[in-house]
Amino acid sequence: MAVRSGRSAIERGDRRFALLAATPAALTIAALFVYPLGYAVVLSLYELNDKRPAATRVVGLANYLQLLGDEKFLASLARTGVFCLFTVFGGVALAVGLGVLLNQPFRGRLAARVLLLVPWAVPPVVNGIMWKLVFDGSYGVANSVLMTLGIVDHRVQWLAVPDLTMGVLVFAELWKLTPFLTLMVIASLQSIPASMYRAASIDGAGSWQRFWRMTVPNLRGTIMFLLIVQSMWSIKVFDSIYVLTGGSGGPAGATTTVNFLAYLTTFSYLDRGYGAAMSIAIMVLVAVVTAFWVLVLGRRGKEASR
Amino acid sequence: MPAPHRTLTRRALMGGGLVLGGATLAGCVSPSGSSDTASSGALEATGDAGGEISILDDNTNSVFKNGLIDTFQEQTGITVKNYEMANFNDLHDRFATMFAGEDSSYDVIMTWAGWSAEFGQAGWLQEISQDALPSDVIRPALDAVSWDGKVYGLPKFASVQTMFWNKEHFERAGLDPDAGPQSWEEFVAAAKKLTTDGRYGYTCDMGNPAGAYQNFLRTMLLCGGELYDSDWTPQLDSEAGVEAMSKLVELFRVHKAMDPASLQITNASDLVEVFAQGNTSIVFNWPFQWSVATQKGAKTSAETVGNGLLPGVNVRSASIDGSEGYAISRFSENKAAAMKWLEFASSATSQTEIVQQEGWFPVSQEILQDPATLEALPVVETYQKSTEYVTKRYGTPWSNELDQLLSVHVNRAMNGKEEPQEAMTAAQQELEPIVEKYLG
């Protein structure tokens, strides 16, 4: 009995110490995350447009209901979907391909891996400025190269035509994010025992079979992680759009994704209540997409391991 | 009976956190508006003022940093603690964030018609009493700092768009270099003739929402239209509105006399360079085009740059206003000293520098009438002529929403995705509820 109470005292002491040790971190998180998030939730329940201060009032969930019928929001959601389609699936597929390639022994592999990291090391704003200059309609090097190669016969206005600008945006994002994704794939590939591949080869498995039946299943966890983070980043994309389009989300709203629309609504139109509702909706969307990937890939992983 | 042993469970901790968080939010969040600590009455002129001020300006005028701040400090004894210049395109959001947080870091901010209306209506700018306005200020320039009958600042320079042309290009194309096009028809004919040698006759800057709005509005005024009627009902789908859109589309798609890069150029500073480097023959631009086109390094000079009124479609001419000014933050704790800065910026001392060093039009009556001004800035003559014609900007609290929605339809029309009538009808339908929301 004495031993039990002694243990309890020790446990209580440990618990107190743990709480004490965690307090600074908890307070920091509360200040930097919980408070702004709570503030955003409160704002989203208000009609609050700074240019109409007299009209400020609590509207409950009206802002959220408005979102459901807001054509601009729904259009931006569709645009975000298209953007994600290319950057999430394209980015992860590209990363797996590059990862497998860079996992093969060849001369200059180390240099290639180091070079791969360069785009990831470039600050996002610099990345945006770089591609803006490259795709400038008048002086950009993209046009010069394409014209020299005879692919186009006139200067293409990459950032003035809606579809082309979305293409440039996808390209700039893939350039920025693929190195990180590839790095994760390479790290994961290195944990697959080489003996498995050797055994498979002895059993007569070809390259494709080894890739589909060994590499991909062993990368499942990594791929799920990459799909989750890339989905989150793609839904929340902002900096590249801001720099490439001069803060407009144009041309013709072609690059106004949900996150950018929330920014425009909050900071350009000063409609802080509705903007906050959009931001919360985006947060929910990110959570739903994350849960989707965990459920889909997690379940398949369990089925495969049975 | 032993006292029940109470342990700190995770659920209890979370519950406590929620209660604490809710209480904190309830205590701290006040989305319903700003505090009443800032004074709300109109600011009167002051005699002596001391202390120090901080100013957040755009990067249009470097004359302040290059000497005028020193002069101001000597004249008034007020210290300019911080003078910061920032890119115009970044300022709006910065101001909005600053004001929403009731930040008093900056006493004076740069403004123009749209922001004066927007931030003025939000109650973020200090209203200035009519009695406090210096007698020397040109009254129409006050539009840049006014909204709904209230004045929120003082102008620092006046600006209207005029036409600039490259006389060498005109001569080579067989056009009279000394007489610019007098009508839209003549302008289109000239621009077509000047589109040669891989260069376009005309270039503009409609690559961002504000640019699209300005270029459309200017053409609409040149068609003899008005953006709103006397009741603020939008007129985008009026005859003049549709005609304006058609004229721009024709210039681009039918006559092919407008540089396609026009849809990508996002500000006047870039357009200025395109002209000054001889890469286009005609631009409709702000007065500082003259000073850039005649400075060292430019491929144009005072002898080769022509300047005149914008060519009208249904009227002889019209133009848009781009005047800028300074306003005082409502949250400033140094309003009297800030007012001294506003007065200084619109005074003859500052205006002389702005005109002669940077090529903007003066807001001081004395400087406008000074023969030295015309000598330093020949385009002032065109400015004086332009006062006979309509010059508007329609700065409103909904300017950003309008710029954004209009730019979508202007771009679609220019790219052939919408017919001009269709584009203007759609823009009108989108704008009406917005205006109703703010004025209704």
Kindly list the residues from chain A whose CB atom is less than 8 angstroms away from the CB atom of residue B270. Answer: none
**Is A275 strand, coil or helix?**
helix
B422 touches chain A (CB under 8 A): no
- Architecture in CATH for domain A45-305: Orthogonal Bundle (1.10)
For residue B38, the model assigns a pLDDT of 47
- The distance of A275 to chain B (nearest Cα, Å) reads 13
**Is B137 strand, coil or helix?**
strand
Kindly list the residues from chain B whose CB atom is less than 8 angstroms away from the CB atom of residue A161. Answer: 263, 415
pLDDT tens per residue, range B349-380: 999 999 999 989 999 888 988 899 988 888 99
Instruction: Determine, for residues B404 and A137 on separate chains, whether the beta-carbon distance falls below 8 Å.
Output: no
CA pair distance A208, B324, nearest whole angstrom: 66
Residues of A with CB under 8 A from a CB of B: 15, 19, 30, 34-35, 38-39, 42-43, 46, 48, 50-53, 56-57, 136-138, 155, 157, 159-162, 245-248, 250-253, 264, 267-270, 272-273
Least Cα distance to A42 among B210, B28, B406 occurs for B28
Indicate which of B216, B404, B431 best probes the interface with A, i.e. most A CBs within 10 Å of its own CB: B404
| C-alpha distance from residue B404 to each of A1, B152, B421 (Å) | 75, 25, 18
pLDDT tens per residue, range B242-275: 999 999 999 999 999 999 999 999 888 899 999 9
**Per DSSP, what are the bridge partners of residue B305?**
B166
CA pair distance B56, B97, nearest whole angstrom: 14
What ipTM was estimated for this complex?
A: 0.85
Task: Pick the more confident residue, B15 or B366.
Answer: B366
Decide the pairing of beta strands B162-166 and B280-285. antiparallel
Please report the domains of chain B, with CATH numbers, ordered by start residue. 52-159+322-392 (3.40.190.10), 162-320+398-439 (3.40.190.10)
User: How many residues belong to chain B?
Assistant: 440
pTM for the model: 0.87
Least Cα distance to B136 among B388, B429, B348, B405 occurs for B348
CA pair distance A158, A255, nearest whole angstrom: 13
**pLDDT of B21 strictly over 60:** no
What is the number of H-type helices and E-type strands within chain B? 17, 13
Tokens matching residue A75: 């259009």
The continuous run of DSSP H or E covering B320 comes out as strand B319-320
Domain spans of chain A, in order of start: 1-34, 45-305
Extract the residue ranges of chain A whose pLDDT is less than 70: 1-7, 300-306
Mean pLDDT over residues B300-322, rounded? Answer: 96
For residue A159, the model assigns a pLDDT of 93
For residue B138, the model assigns a pLDDT of 84
B75 touches chain A (CB under 8 A): no
Helical packing angle, B10-28 and A35-44, nearest 10°: 60
Question: Which among A52, A252, A267 has the least Cβ separation from residue B412?
Answer: A252
- The distance of B125 to chain A (nearest Cα, Å) reads 12
φ and ψ at A184, to 5 degrees? -65, -40
The residue with tokens 């998180």 is A29
CA pair distance A217, A224, nearest whole angstrom: 11
Helices (H), A236-267: 239-244, 258-263
**pLDDT of B26 strictly over 80:** no
Tokens matching residue A258: 């949900």
Total Cβ atoms within 10 A of residue B433 = 10
Whole-number average pLDDT of chain B: 90
Q: Are B114 and B395 in contact (CB under 8 A)?
A: yes
Question: Which among B24, B264, B401 has the least Cβ separation from residue A157?
Answer: B264
CA pair distance B123, A57, nearest whole angstrom: 17
Instruction: Determine, for residues A246 and B407 on separate chains, whether the beta-carbon distance falls below 8 Å.
Output: no
Kindly list the residues from chain A whose CB atom is less than 8 angstroms away from the CB atom of residue B96. Answer: 50, 267, 270
| C-alpha distance from residue B373 to each of A48, B22, B137, B198, B230 (Å) | 48, 63, 16, 37, 36
- The distance of B71 to chain A (nearest Cα, Å) reads 36
Instruction: Determine, for residues A162 and B207 on separate chains, whether the beta-carbon distance falls below 8 Å.
Output: no
- The distance of A147 to chain B (nearest Cα, Å) reads 14
Tokens matching residue A273: 């209540």
Structure confidence at residue B41 as a pLDDT band (50, 70, 90): confident
The residue with tokens 């004359």 is B63
Instruction: Determine, for residues B31 and A272 on separate chains, whether the beta-carbon distance falls below 8 Å.
Output: yes
Indicate which of B408, B418, B430, B436 best probes the interface with A, i.e. most A CBs within 10 Å of its own CB: B408
pLDDT tens per residue, range A207-224: 888 888 889 889 988 999
**pLDDT of B39 strictly over 80:** no
pLDDT tens per residue, range A140-165: 999 999 999 999 988 999 999 999 99
Kindly list the residues from chain B whose CB atom is less than 8 angstroms away from the CB atom of residue A142. Answer: none
Structure confidence at residue B34 as a pLDDT band (50, 70, 90): very low
**pLDDT of B7 strictly over 80:** no
Chain B 19-58, CB below 8 Å of chain A: which residues?
21-22, 24-25, 29, 31-34
**Per DSSP, what are the bridge partners of residue B321?**
B160
Instruction: Determine, for residues B261 and A15 on separate chains, whether the beta-carbon distance falls below 8 Å.
Output: no
Structure confidence at residue B27 as a pLDDT band (50, 70, 90): very low
